[in-house]
Structure 1
Amino acid sequence: MRGLLVVNPKATTTSQRTREVLAGALRSAMELKIGFTRRRGHGHDLAASAAADGVDVVVALGGDGTVNEVVNGLMTTPTGKRPRLAVVPGGSTNVFVRALGIPNSPVEATGVILDALNAGSSREIGLGKADDRYFTFCAGLGIDAAVVRRVERARYRGRRSTPSLYLRSALNEYFFDAIRRDPGLTLSAVGEQDQTNLANVIVQNTAPWTYLGDRPVHASPQASFDSGLDVMALTALHPPSTLRTVGKMLALRDEDYGKRVMLRHDLTEFTVTCATPEPFQLDGDYLGEREMVKFTAVPAALQVIC
């Protein structure tokens, strides 16, 4: 069995020594090569090259951004020739790994991968697609993407990516910017009436939407790798109703978010348009501003070792 380990050397929760130990463990199960990402998008190129070369397994060691790049690289290869994917968590949040039920510890996750390889076990999952780029767990237009933008700017200034940084960024974005704006988002789904005047749109390919430390945050609790895409959108950002909605997302008491929330489950294809350019994020990476994004569910896209 031939494998490639794609390593983000800047991953926040692993050291060089840890990476060496994990690579040594993986070598016990396969003929392993290692590729280090050197720039944004390099994970895509490494995975695409490995897939074209007929590698059997590509292991991503990094955060959700690294996983997204690797997945998009794998998807350049036709289904029958596509390598299986394995993920060792190395980021600050690691939503994709935890959504699969894999431990958030790099060492424990590697143990799960080795056990699955020995047993020949893997899971088929669907992906989401936003225009021409695939995503594993979520995408967003509006305030959540603006929060990601704030966090990325803070990280460029040397701040560590922590739950408190995300929380402060969310509060600052909401109270100093979002509640004064009217983005005028419209969701157009096949066979449905357009949903207009939305304040934000969160698209999920699985649940949860994200994590705040160890606490899962659910926007669309029914979202699953085995179904289409789910959408949660706020129709307004008024403080009382928004705070109630956030409380329910954290507590997961029910899915009755109230009249200011729109939910859609298992959508195959839809488009979101914006009255003015809005912040856009994919799997926790800020990708600039967009006026329109077409979303598509891609069933049975990847085999994941877990």
Structure 2
Amino acid sequence: MRALLVVNPAATTTSARTRDVLAHALASDLKLEVAQTEYRGHARDLARRAAESGETELVVALGGDGTVNEVVNGLLTHGPAPEALPRLAVVPGGSTNVFARALGLPNDAVEATGALLDALRDGSERTVGLGLAAGTPDTQDEMIPKRWFTFCAGFGFDAGVVGRVEQQRERGKRSTHALYVRQVMRQFLGEPNRRHGTITLEHPGAEPGSTEVIDDLVLSIICNTAPWTYLGNRPVYPSPQASFDTALDVFALTRLSTPAVARYATQLLASTPDRGPRGKHAVSLHDQTDFTLHSQVPLPFQMDGDHLGLRSSVTFTGVRRALRVIV
């Protein structure tokens, strides 16, 4: 099988020696080409060229969730065509590795490589659904090109946290869970709209052709799978029913006052695959194929943990059976 290994040399938890060992192990079973990323977006370009060549059967992403996101967007440059596109495999090398862990893969690069080789020998794969989003920057009318995401997107508060973390990483800070917790507190203290949200959610109503509107949201998290993220080894489930086999789930809050934050943060930390946060300020929607989030003011937007700047409107689509993945 002809395969491309896309390596992010800056991956948080993978050393150069480990990468060499993993490439050697994969090359024993595959006709392997290895390419290291050199700039932001390079993984996307490498995967696009592999898909367009028609010769590559498998693309392996070695890195964190950002690397995986770029590879997925490269593979799906011309849209989903599961039977025609190369399959995707993931070897986790980031700090959290949500997509890989949600697929049930080990969170260790060496163990994940062994599991990948076993899956290839057994012909084990699944076809997963993905999220697709397009946003309007600030208050302009021009739409930003659509982009795929594998496990989550966020509009508002949580995207602001992601942006703060990225700023700290650019200053040389390591991506740790403690860093995220600190930035959550700073985002909360600096949030001007935590009592009266500016986000409106529009989604199809129960009657054909109708639209339902939910106003005054402060926080909105869009999940393509569960869990949403991990705090160390603890999974967090704002939308426990979210799945790679359905469309998208939405979890939103209409208030971020101190009592509300304490209540819902406690529920999130105690969430399970059977029970997520609940309450009068919580909004939960399951298996949504198409919906739009608008804001009265431009808000931060993130996809798969990658901060994408400010948006005034984002349209989401849940696409079932979009890509084949080795598991």
In structure 2, C-alpha distance between the alignment counterparts of 1:172 and 1:250, rounded to whole Å: 19
Cross-structure match for 2:241? 222
Moved more, 280-289 or 234-243: 234-243
Alignment of 1:254-269 (within 5 A): 254-255=275-276, 257-269=278-290
How far does residue 243 in structure 1 lie from its aligned partner after superposition? 1.4
Cross-structure match for 2:190? 176
Report Cα offsets for 1:261-283 as digits up to 9, x if no partner. 00000001000001000000000
Cross-structure match for 2:208? none
How far does residue 180 in structure 1 lie from its aligned partner after superposition? 5.4
In structure 2, C-alpha distance between the alignment counterparts of 1:18 and 1:287, rounded to whole Å: 31
In structure 2, C-alpha distance between the alignment counterparts of 1:180 and 1:52, rounded to whole Å: 46
In structure 1, C-alpha distance between the alignment counterparts of 2:204 and 2:256, rounded to whole Å: 27
How far does residue 182 in structure 1 lie from its aligned partner after superposition? 4.4
Residue 136 (1) aligns with residue 180 (2): no
Alpha-carbon RMSD: 1.2
Tell me the secondary structure at the aligned position of residue 232 of structure 1: strand
Cross-structure match for 1:294? 315
Cross-structure match for 1:58? 59
Alignment of 1:83-102 (within 5 A): 83-102=86-105
In structure 1, C-alpha distance between the alignment counterparts of 2:302 and 2:114, rounded to whole Å: 31
Relative to the length of structure 1, the TM-score reads 0.97
In structure 1, C-alpha distance between the alignment counterparts of 2:252 and 2:223, rounded to whole Å: 11
Cross-structure match for 2:115? 112
How far does residue 92 in structure 1 lie from its aligned partner after superposition? 0.5
Residue 35 (1) aligns with residue 35 (2): yes
Cross-structure match for 1:149? 163
How far does residue 18 in structure 1 lie from its aligned partner after superposition? 0.4
Q: Where has structure 1 moved over 6 Å in runs of 4 or more?
A: none
Cross-structure match for 1:279? 300
Cross-structure match for 1:198? 217
**Contact 2:194/2:257 (8 A) holds in 1:** no
In structure 2, C-alpha distance between the alignment counterparts of 1:105 and 1:204, rounded to whole Å: 24
**How many residues get paired?**
306
Would the alpha carbon gap of residues 181 and 69 (structure 1) be closer, same or farther in structure 2, given more than 3 Å must change?
A: farther
Query: Which among 259, 262, 265 is matched to residue 240 of structure 1?
Result: 259
How far does residue 177 in structure 1 lie from its aligned partner after superposition? 2.7
Query: Which among 122, 125, 130 is matched to residue 122 of structure 1?
Result: 125
Structure 1: 5+ residue stretches without partners: none
Report Cα offsets for 1:177-229 as digits up to 9, x if no partner. 35657441001012242001111110000011111111111111110000010
In structure 2, C-alpha distance between the alignment counterparts of 1:209 and 1:97, rounded to whole Å: 12
In structure 1, C-alpha distance between the alignment counterparts of 2:59 and 2:316, rounded to whole Å: 26
**Contact 1:183/1:276 (8 A) holds in 2:** no
Report Cα offsets for 1:86-132 as digits up to 9, x if no partner. 00001001000000010000000001100000001101100000111
Would the alpha carbon gap of residues 259 and 39 (structure 1) be closer, same or farther in structure 2, given more than 3 Å must change?
A: same
Relative to the length of structure 2, the TM-score reads 0.91
**Contact 2:195/2:255 (8 A) holds in 1:** no
Cross-structure match for 1:73? 74
In structure 2, C-alpha distance between the alignment counterparts of 1:305 and 1:125, rounded to whole Å: 10
